[in-house]
Amino acid sequence: MKAYERLLKYVQYPTASDENSETCPSTSEQRILGMALCDEMKEMGISNVVIDDNGYVYGEIPASSGCENAPVIGFIAHMDVVAEVPCVNIKPQIVDYQGGDVLLNEEQNIWLSCKDFPEMNELAGQHLIVTDGTTLLGADDKNGVAEILTAAEELLANPEIKHGKIMIGFTPDEEIGRGANRFDLERFGADYAYTLDGGAFGEVECETFNAAHAHIVINGVSVHPGSAKDKMINASIVAMEFNSLLPAVERPEHTEKYEGFYHITGMKGTCDNAEIYYIIRDHDADKLAYRVEYIKRAADEINRRYGEGTVVAETGFDYKNMSVIIKDHWHLIENAEKAIRALGTEPVTNPVRGGTDGCVLSFMGLPCPNLGTGGYNFHGKFEFASIEQMDKAVEMIKNIAVIYGEQTK
């Protein structure tokens, strides 16, 4: 089975994670997909397949004869998708793309536009899997799941391809920042790993944001508007005032590359009470710390204006830049680049403007950079995947397995 065929099957599972849930996985649909993956893995001959109590899926491919002393390499992807965009009743379409805009939905006149997504200009001649413009596709990260299992199937079917022991892991709840929290490193048993959770094929990512969050609570004073003069403190208005204290140009829509940001992920409010939720990001740890301190200073300023306790700012740190770990295991980057070049593509190394399971796993003791899967426009209704790039990602995984199979611990 080709990787894109698996993707078309997996996207029919509506696996959005839920940050308000206290269970693991956060939604039952993720476990349903995990169980289906276990059945598929067992059928193709993957060994020691299990889904644990937390919804994590594990399996292994034994080392080829003569490669038993090679480093154990893992490949990891996540099963969940974001909840902010509809993921039910996905209608994927395959487009033989020859350039120009793509009509996704004639009835609603929804187009995938080269103007809005200029990377389309580089994809003429490829076959794209798109949506009907009303849901996401789920390529983040069912592309990765499909590619890992397709590579596994091909390695098992071709014993002449020599490789060391390979571990496979599929995680829940990556999109809500919990994907690696209960990952069983001892069970996994890999020396090194890669997440398949990136964008275009050829991307090799070893730098992530440092990440923090803030929860801002505004306590207002509700008074009948007819007698509110000099008495009312409208919490919703104060929330807007608080946000205005943060640099307007330091939002995601105005930043790129190594530029950090403040991003509102949710807000609600009445006159009496309001709340704002932020994620805070920067590749530089000192700059991130400054951003968190800036949030606190903004809260202090609002309290100076309206009285102590008007704003309560709760902040916390979420994850660190994986480059701190990966730089000491640079062979992971060199070997991935070698595997990509063997397929006629020049690898591209960009800073990840986000995080991956690999970021957390790296700090847990499993160095784990991230690789591109041939997906684009993640987290939105214009998400799509390239079939040709998915095929190359499968070959890349096999190449990496061979490269490490030739080495010894």
Token duo for residue 289? 């710390």
Q: What is the sign of the dihedral through the CA atoms of 82, 86, 91 and 92?
A: negative
Catalytic-residue membership of 318: no
Beta carbons within 8 Å of 345's beta carbon, 6+ residues apart: 201, 202, 392
Residue 92 is which amino acid? P
- Residues 332 and 404: their CA atoms lie apart, in Å, by 10
Sheet-wide strand order for 210-219: 261-269, 273-282, 210-219, 311-319
Identify which of 181, 220, 386, 215 has the alpha carbon closest to the alpha carbon of residue 302: 220
- The neighbouring-strand residues paired with 386 are 128
* Active-site annotation holder among 141, 153, 174, 197: 174
Query: Which of 17, 15, 61, 70 has its CA nearest to residue 41?
Result: 61
Selection from 311, 313, 300 nearest residue 219 by Cα? 311
Judge whether 22 counts as a catalytic residue. no
What is the C-alpha separation between 3 and 118, in angstroms, rounded?
25
Helices (H), 158-204: 185-188
In whole angstroms, what is the distance from residue 389 CA to residue 320 CA? Answer: 30
C-alpha to C-alpha distance for 121 and 115, rounded to whole angstroms:
9
Give the integer Cα–Cα distance in Å for 140 and 137. 8
CB burial readout 46-63, b (16+ within 10 A) else e: beebebeebbbbbbbbeb
Q: Which residue out of 80, 175, 250, 383 is catalytically annotated? A: 80
Please say whether the beta carbons of 94 and 128 come within 8 A: yes
Query: 3-state DSSP: the chain helix, strand, coil percent, rounded to 5?
Result: 35, 25, 40
**What residues act catalytically?**
80, 174
